[in-house]
Amino acid sequence: MRARILVSNSISAPYRVVGWQVAVALLLALVWGALRGADAAVSALAGGAVCFVPAGLFAMRLARAQSRQDGYVFAFFVGEGIKVLLSIVLFVAVALWLRGADWLALIVTYIVVLQVYVFGLLMASR
């Protein structure tokens, strides 16, 4: 029974972290919008999405690999590589799509949302 609880917690922790990332990105978009206008709010949302979309896909990949003990480590490293590549692709897409992007709002939001992932996993491991 204890093993089932540990597996359940280890699967749900990344999803909770991604949920917190989305919440922080939305909150920061509101703050940037209030401070610098709609373009900053949209840029902040894009910066948050560059972080939480790959993280969400990574969490789904790990959840699927959880049932296969032999492939979990492999799935982790491949998923991490895909997450980095997808982040780069999303940054390029944002640069092409949002010509008038507020890069300060975008980058600051990306960095803050990325830190949510780090702190969220630390808190989930307690």
Per-residue pLDDT tens for 2-57? 444 444 456 577 888 899 999 999 999 999 999 999 999 999 999 999 999 999 99
Distance CA 29, CA 27 (A): 5
What is the reported pLDDT for 72?
76
Place of tokens 């920061």: 28
pLDDT of 49-94, one tens digit each? Answer: 999 999 999 988 888 877 776 677 888 888 899 999 999 999 999 9
Distance CA 112, CA 81 (A): 21
Distance CA 15, CA 117 (A): 10
110 burial level (CB within 10 Å; 0-12, 13-18, 19+):
buried
> Within its chain, how far is the Cα of 74 from the centroid?
20
